[in-house]
Chain A
């Protein structure tokens, strides 16, 4: 009971056509690949989004502190 593993198609065109089933097989694999890639990529996109949000909030906070200290400075001489 030896099972030989060899390429099942005579040519690349045969491989793509798959005896008329090619369109179904390739669409199924293509959509699956796209879905899995989306799952894999999403966390790093989300992380970057969180980083930008953090930077934005830090900038707002800095500006607020700046305004506050300017106000104190201008108020002091009097």
Chain B
């Protein structure tokens, strides 16, 4: 009995039926938080004493980088769960996490490059943090490409999970890169164990954006997983019914 929830969780249909009602709330929360956070960060947070207004990019750069890393954990862990317990849904989550993670890593790198120009005078340097983030992007793209290289879904799932697990080596390197090699990228602004090096007037909008990005991540991960479930369970009657209902309006 105790394990029943675990088996249910592995059922794509159960997941699909359960999560449908969460989506509009997650979408609303992300929209509100990201709008408030952006307006706050762009117009109302004070200027940075050293960097002027270019620092306002922090309000998207840091949350995107956070989620790019957290998203990798999610991809690797769901890959591992899929390998160990042969859970179909877990592999679907892993596959859904790859493109989302790739987009967020791209956003982190792109906003960082744009921020670098007025701050460091260059768009790109082969700094440890930046290089390890670029490797993260390649890992995400690698998982996407590997998934497409196999015609059999089950083989693709296993291969992607293995690649994702091997790639986790990169994660601690990214975290520690600013401390191990003190090159160009500035050290972490927010620390869990010590007090942060950021003023509250700048921290609250940043926190709003981070929570907003987490909501957006949860929302898009669930939504992408749902369409993957539809695609993978295509032959089943419940999926055909679900898609036919959408055709008659509704949804």
Contact = CB atoms under 8 A, between A and B. Distances in A.
A31 B110 contact: yes
A68 B199 CA distance: 76
B107 A25 contact: no
A28 B219 contact: no
Interface in B210-251: 216, 219-220, 223-224, 226-227, 230-231, 234, 240, 243-244, 246-247, 251
Interface residues of B, number: 48
B115 interface: yes
B66 interface: no
Interface in A41-73: 42-44, 46-47, 50-51, 54-55
Contacts of A47: 227, 230, 243, 246, 251
B60 A28 contact: yes
B9 interface: no
Contact of A5 (B34, B201, B244): B201
Nearest to B57: A28
A46 B224 CA distance: 9
Interface of B is mostly: helix
A25 B57 CA distance: 6
Contacts of B251: 47
A43 B45 contact: no
A10 B155 CA distance: 60
A43 B220 CA distance: 8
A51 B118 contact: no
Contacts of B38: 29
Contacts of A22: 53
A39 B60 contact: no
A7 B45 CA distance: 8
B89 interface: no
B9 to A, nearest CB: 20
A7 B44 contact: yes
Q: List the 10 shortest-distance A-B pairs measured between CB atoms, nearest first.
A: A18-B53, A43-B223, A21-B54, A21-B53, A3-B201, A28-B111, A46-B227, A28-B114, A43-B227, A28-B57
12 contacts: A3-B200, A9-B43, A18-B54, A21-B54, A24-B57, A24-B114, A24-B115, A40-B220, A44-B223, A47-B230, A50-B231, A54-B247
